[in-house]
Amino acid sequence: MPKVAVPLPYFDFFPEIKAELAAKYPGAKFSTPGVLMQGEKLVEFLKGYDTAVIGLNRFTDEVCKALPELKVVSLCSAGVDHIDPAILNKYGIKMWWVPGINKISVSELAVCYMVLTVRRVPFYSSVLMRGEWKGPMGFGGDLRGRTVGIHGVGHIGKEVIKLLQPYGVKILACDREDFSDFYKQFNNVEKVNAEELWARSDVLTIHLSKNKSTLGMYTKEVQAKFKPGMILVNCARGGMVDEAALAANLASGHISGAAFDVFDIEPANNNPLLKLPNMFASPHIGATTMGSWDAMLRSGMHGIEHAYDPKPGVYPFD
């Protein structure tokens, strides 16, 4: 019988799933809501357990070396950019993860942010909240008729394409994988390379995995290639967009608006981007729906006995 420890506080929000896990694995240890455990605190919590059901906890070389009994880490998270498969293999630790498990929640958020930003809803809302509604305040726009670029057409990107069908937009799809068969299902999707994506998109939404090939991809130089007045949406991962360059481009109007759910450093409470009137931001809420977390927690529970050897160089790893 696996000895299970859960350094992930979200089970407290789903008592039925927590009770189900506790009944199936007697003696399971649960953390309580609070600061995400890392380093020494994570080691202390997991000592004596061979299985960990985790979120964004990091299993560094030091952590794994200090936990010789640990044999399985089962991820509830939707991403794996915090996991190094080479370290897990070094210590004989198996892993479980399901890609795209939160695809509905994130894709809906991305499309929502497109509409909000095009219509300038966050700006208008802030005017009202400050008591400054005195007369005409300019105009927003319609999403209909625009060209929407999707960078990354995996599980989430595909859902975005589906959700955009009623909006009457032209879609540019860019991915290193060939999804031509999927694109053929829709009359408004065109496969393009990155240069075309940047030059032609009125609205650009990022849905790439965070890895060595995408980290820092949206540099100052790349942003200079954007179609003037583009709107940029990022509900994927922080660290892929040069935020200083983004701030400058938002201030100049080269990028007319941006909506980000993720940032280089999180929590992003003091990020200078938050002070810009054409920047809309949220605190990494892409997967924070009851439906997504129900699915992610159940997946983490399933992975306790179905973990596998992670393979460096094989998706989703570099």
Residue 184 CB coordination number (10 Å): 10
Cα separation, 78 vs 97, whole angstroms? 8
Cα separation, 6 vs 17, whole angstroms? 13
Are 130 and 185 a contacting pair, CB within 8 Å? no
Cα 311–Cα 211–Cα 228 angle in degrees, nearest 5: 150
Residue 24 CB coordination number (10 Å): 14
Q: Which of 120, 151, 207, 284 is catalytic?
A: 284
Q: Is 177 a catalytic site residue?
A: no
Q: What is the DSSP letter of 227?
A: P
Cα 62–Cα 63–Cα 66 angle in degrees, nearest 5: 85
Q: Which of 151, 159, 237, 243 is catalytic?
A: 237
Q: Which of 40, 177, 266, 305 is catalytic?
A: 266
Cα separation, 256 vs 229, whole angstroms? 5
Q: Is 266 a catalytic site residue?
A: yes
Q: Is 284 a catalytic site residue?
A: yes
Cα separation, 318 vs 312, whole angstroms? 6
Find tokens 């919590």 and name the residue.
Answer: 45
Residues in the chain: 318
Find tokens 């094989």 and name the residue.
Answer: 314
CA quadruple 182, 299, 110, 240: dihedral positive or negative?
A: negative
Cα 285–Cα 110–Cα 229 angle in degrees, nearest 5: 120
What's at 275, amino acid-wise? Answer: K
Where in the sequence numbering do the catalytic residues fall? 237, 266, 284
